[in-house]
Amino acid sequence: MADDSHRPPVGVNLHDVASVSSFVAEDAPVRARSAVRYGAAAYSVDVDESDGSEYASVADDDTRAWADGTAEDSEEDVYSDLFEEAMAASISTRSERGRRGKRWSRAPSRGLRCAALSAVSLVVAVAFTVRGSVWDRASNDLGMYTAPATTWVSKRSHETPGARPGGFKLRNRSSKWRVSPFATSKANLGFSPLGLYRMLTNGRPASFWDPTKIKTKDGHLPAEFDVREKWSECADVVDTVLDQGECGSCWAVAPAKVMSDRLCIATNGTVKQQVSALQLLACETTLHGAFVQSSKNGCEGGFPSEAYEKAFDHGLTSGGMFGDTNSCMPYEFQPCEHPCEPLRQAHCPETCANGGDIKPTYHVTSIFNCPTNDYDCIALELWNNGPMSSYVGDVYDEFYDYESGVYSTSKDPERRGKSHGGHVMEIIGWGVDENGRTYWKMYNSWLNWGENGFGKIAVGELSIGEDAEAATLAPVSNE
């Protein structure tokens, strides 16, 4: 009598994968005699070469069963058993598939989801292509704002062969920085509907920014504001414009002006001394606190954040205009008729111009920024604490020719001219022109720009608000 220990028992469920693997390994001599498929089920009749007995297997995807036969059984009997097993397995599997199908019947098909994604991608691509022209035409037709080219007055054109203001766009901000307490969540729109709308319309919703909707402790912000009017005791300090001369030093001059103006405001007008832009531009500080020549040529440009960080780390000494002998480190370069080529290199002096020792006179207690394009934050900072500096992006030939009115970058490349790189300026307030368009009140480090360095730039133009920064200061000693 043949040994049946290695033969599979009737009705073994092959869900038990471990037992199936074990059986196959032990019965390597088994070979298939015939195989039949019925619908989704498959079964085969096999023979055990050790004793000549037959047995059959039935499989339907996830469900498998064994049927047993012998040499004495007729082939019809074996197939009959197999058909019964196969049909049972097939019916069970179809039922399971039906249940799975019902769960997915309510969800969109894969084809529909792919079509929807393709449609959205197409809309985004088309919007980016036509965003400028379509928006401008629609806005003009609806009277939303007047075409920018007619809202400002230009001087005669200049030759600008190698002018470079000197401002670099910030890439990473160090841990020394803090976000302004007036920051709002409106600037961090991400991929929300309004965020995508602003992205697709190239920032045009900034044209609808309304400061009168911003709440304060006493109500709302006014439609027009100027730090010189609120803190009139410091108006003469704010109106003092340091011309950067033949040096790409806007990245140091604008932060120095902001800190000088805020120092006056914080002390209620008792301290009206300018802090030194030259120190930020040309000096480094040793471990012992001594000021030495910087290894970089600051006239080739820099990051305004670095100027604030230098002040935060080492404090500031007094500064002044070119030729001033009453301060420690007055500015080294005389004004020029901008555009000027940055042909100079700044030098850190070894002694004070006023005869004293070079030492920090003012302490920077904090440096902070507003989130990108958070206009509410900028306005509240101006309203509560004073001016801020901002990277304004690349400026073009026409920017040097600005004389008055509300500046907007021309859409015509020929009128706009070539780019001269990034620039940094000071924001001192805001207002609304006769066409209802809101603008920033700005001070530039070029005395021949606008009205003695003062001008107006439409909200949403250039990159004003991309990196808006400021600091708080306090005197550490009396000179």
**Residues with catalytic annotation?**
250, 423, 444
Task: Please give the Cα distance from 269 to 311 (Å, whole number).
Answer: 21
Kindly state the tokens that stand for 313: 């780390």
Q: What is the CA radius of gyration of the chain?
A: 39
Least Cα distance to 280 among 314, 247, 327, 246 occurs for: 314
Tell me the sheet residues that pair with 423.
Answer: 393
Tell me the sheet residues that pair with 225.
Answer: 430
Amino acid letter, residue 330: P
Is there a contact between 427 and 378 (Cβ–Cβ < 8 Å)? Answer: yes
Tell me the sheet residues that pair with 316.
Answer: 362
For 466, half-sphere exposure in the C-beta direction (CA atoms, 13 angstrom radius) is 21
Distances (CA, A) of 160 to 69, 241, 243, 339, 462: 99, 22, 18, 6, 19
Task: Please give the Cα distance from 310 to 329 (Å, whole number).
Answer: 15
Compute φ and ψ for 471, nearest 5 degrees: -150, 160
Is there a contact between 39 and 82 (Cβ–Cβ < 8 Å)? Answer: no
End-to-end C-alpha distance for the chain, whole angstroms: 117
Strands 362-370 and 178-179: parallel
Strands 215-216 and 219-220: antiparallel
Kindly state the tokens that stand for 171: 């890439």
Q: What is the CA 456 to chain-centroid distance, rounded?
A: 26
Is there a contact between 336 and 429 (Cβ–Cβ < 8 Å)? Answer: no
